[in-house]
Structure 1
Amino acid sequence: MMITPEYCLTMARYNAWQNRQVKAFFANLDPVALKQDRKAFFGSLLGTANHLLWGDLMWMSRFTGAPPPAGGIKDTPTLTATREEWEIARFRADADILIWSERLRAVDLTGDLTWYSGAVGREVSKPKALCVAHMFNHQTHHRGQIHAMLTAAGVEAPVSDLAFMSAEGPWL
């Protein structure tokens, strides 16, 4: 098997830990700095954080049958309008990902997942395990962009090394 339920739980915990740190760093930025165009693919720090949140909501809708988020990829930078709105939505999404991963069984990672992809404009079918691994990889990729933007802005960025995540939690 490509990935295991234990891997998914570890990555869900890592995701929540990282987002908690991002939240703390965002709290120290004024709203103008948070929305400043930093020439990243999704523009600003908040725009990139919103895209990541949208991606998580979209993947979880595919994995669990929950309602998908509104809009398409081009709309993602404006998913939430403020840091406070983002924090609430991010907290809820992280809780949902953690609960899902805690209940995951090996059989849930087998077979294919089929969905309509707005990004490529057609139905796509891929192994479920690959899709789950992609969701966690997508999180890490865009948090890396946030880390780089914080560093470029002269802000000390959060610790992002999985090896330094506390085994005790709390995860949210």
Structure 2
Amino acid sequence: MPPSQCLTFRALAYNNAWANHRLLAACAGLGQDAFEAPRTGFFPSIRATLNHILVIDRFYVDALEGGTLGPAAWADPLPCPTLADLRPAQAAVDRRLIAFCEALAPDGLAAVTRVHRQGHVQEERTDRLLLHLFLHQVHHRGQAHAMLSGTGVPPPQLDEFFAAGEAPLRAAEFAALGWREETVWG
């Protein structure tokens, strides 16, 4: 695998953390009632959707790190009942995913990751598992984003991670996250 693929996965991990940061910062404008309120989506509320993202992130990041957490990851589908609980928990798993992707070497992308599932262990190429995880995150963040648009809180822009027009805002958000452009791109 060319080194550029490792850089791409690293950038995707940073983009994922940044999008979570932006979305959860916007959700901070909601009260607890609005956070829990029934909404149309695969999961019945913003809280349930964002907790699902966290639970599945924990499941797959643990597998990528060589862990055996498996289905115990989703024993509690709402591990973070409040946004105050959810924000640091999501940031922690996002940092773990970034660390994993920063440590990736080209030969590691084709390596096998063992995913402990109910009753069996699935073996999956690491690059394919990462692609699945990033797609899962985008999919459900999009649902939470749509739910947020049904509240009084405007949903944040999530698809301009490296767009030149976003540079001043991005710089401020990167500073809040402890990043610089060089952090992401090396």
TM bucket (normalised to shorter chain) is 0.7 to 0.9
Q: How does 1:4-15 map to 2 (within 5 A)?
A: 4-15=5-16
Greater Cα radius of gyration, structure 1 or 2: 2
Instruction: Read off the aligned partner of 2:64 and give its amino acid letter.
Output: F
Q: 1:69 to 1:125 in 2, by over 3 A?
A: closer
Specify every segment of 5 or more residues in structure 1 that has no aligned partner in the other structure, as ranges: none
2:26 maps to 25
| Paired residues of 2:36 and 2:47 also in contact (CA < 8 A) | yes
What does residue 94 of structure 1 align with? 94
Matched-pair identity in %? 27
Matches within 5 A, 1:108-123: 108-118=108-118, 122-123=120-121
TM-score of the aligned structures, taking structure 1 as reference length:
0.85
1:124-139 to structure 2, matched below 5 A, reads 124-139=122-137
For 1:145, the equivalent position in structure 2 comes to 143
Shift in alpha-carbon separation, 1:41–1:72, aligned structure 2, 3 A = farther
Q: Deviations over 1:40-72 (max 9, x none)?
A: 222111111111011111111101134638745
State whether residues 70 and 117 of structure 2, in contact with CA within 8 Å, keep that contact through their aligned partners in structure 1: no
Question: TM-score when scaled to structure 2?
Answer: 0.79
Q: Which runs of 5+ in 2 are unaligned?
A: 178-186
Aligned length, in residue pairs: 169
Per-residue CA distance 1:109-146 (angstroms, 9 max, x = gap): 1133233323xx54322222111111111111111001
Distance 1:129 1:109 in 2: 5
Over 3 Å counting, the alpha-carbon distance change for 1:69 and 1:50 in structure 2 is farther
Mapped to 2, the partners of 1:8 and 1:171 lie a distance apart of 22
CA RMSD of aligned residues (A): 2.5
Indicate the residue corresponding to 2:181 in structure 1. none
Give the conservation status (yes or no) of the 8 Å contact 2:5–2:106: yes
Q: Provide the C-alpha distance between the structure 1 equivalents of 2:114 and 2:96, rounded to a whole number of angstroms.
A: 21
